[in-house]
């Protein structure tokens, strides 16, 4: 029983890592096939219903996030479906997504930096402040607006090109068997401190 519980906790850690990776820029270079971006104001104000749910607290530091990121990305980028996608996720003074993208049969390096902010309802706002591809510095506002117009993104991702921001609706990320998520703390200083709450339905 204890072994099964440990396996479940480890699975949730990877789900949280996937949230960070996708939300912090991976979706910009993947082919996404779900619905249009959500209304930003609705995502920011939406409340989580925690009734009849058991909270489980998870705490990660920068080193743990980066180690999990490296392990997870090495696995998914070896698959045939993701073989053309190349990116890395690192948490330092800011959150960075970097790698290479194939443009006209040429590998162009890119780096996107974002600053995360915690919203009162447990969702996360990401402010893009810098994007560089090769020698070109591109305005994040333009890129986010382009993605919003030309790509279909998950329901839990809201794009606001005008303000160069992305809202991650963690409350709606999965909802697998009624499970939902909340970010409780985002501290980028020092070794970092990232607290999450997993809300698990109580057994009858």
Provide the domain count of the chain: 1
Rounded (to 5) percent helix, strand, coil in the chain: 30, 35, 30
User: How far is 117 from 63, CA to CA, in rounded Å?
Assistant: 20
pLDDT at 80 over 50: no
pLDDT band at 35 (very low <50, low <70, confident <90, very high): very low
Q: Are the C-beta atoms of 160 and 16 separated by less than 8 Å?
A: no
pLDDT at 81 over 70: no
Instruction: Kindly list the distances between the CA atom of residue 102 and the CA atoms of 31, 87, 105, 109, in Å, as whole numbers in the listed order.
Output: 14, 12, 6, 9
pLDDT at 189 over 80: yes
- Residue pLDDT, tens place only, 139-170: 877 767 766 776 556 677 788 888 888 887 87
Mean pLDDT of all residues in 76-89: 58
Please report how the helices 62-76 and 2-23 are oriented relative to each other, as an axis angle in degrees rounded to 10: 80
Domain holding 179, by residue range, is 2-201
Coil vs helix vs strand at 161: coil
Is pLDDT larger for residue 150 or for residue 190? 190
């Amino acid at each position: 029983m204890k072994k099964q519980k440990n396996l479940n906790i480890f699975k949730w850690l990877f789900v949280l890592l996937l949230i960070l990776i996708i939300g912090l820029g991976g979706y910009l270079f993947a082919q996404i096939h779900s619905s249009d971006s959500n209304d930003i104001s609705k995502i920011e104000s939406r409340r989580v219903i925690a009734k009849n749910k058991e909270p489980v607290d998870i705490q990660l530091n920068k080193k743990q996030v980066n180690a999990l990121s490296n392990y997870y990305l090495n696995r998914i980028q070896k698959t045939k479906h993701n073989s053309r996608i190349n990116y890395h996720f690192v948490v330092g003074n800011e959150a960075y997504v970097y790698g290479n993208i194939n443009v006209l049969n040429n590998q162009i390096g890119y780096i996107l930096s974002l600053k995360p902010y915690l919203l009162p309802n447990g969702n996360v706002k990401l402010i893009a402040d810098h994007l560089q591809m090769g020698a070109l510095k591109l305005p994040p506002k333009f890129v986010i607006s382009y993605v919003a117009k030309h790509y279909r993104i998950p329901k839990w991702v809201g794009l606001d090109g005008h303000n160069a921001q992305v809202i991650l609706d963690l409350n709606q990320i999965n909802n697998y068997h009624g499970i939902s998520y909340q970010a409780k703390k985002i501290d980028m200083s020092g070794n970092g401190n990232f607290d999450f709450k997993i809300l698990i339905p109580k057994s009858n």
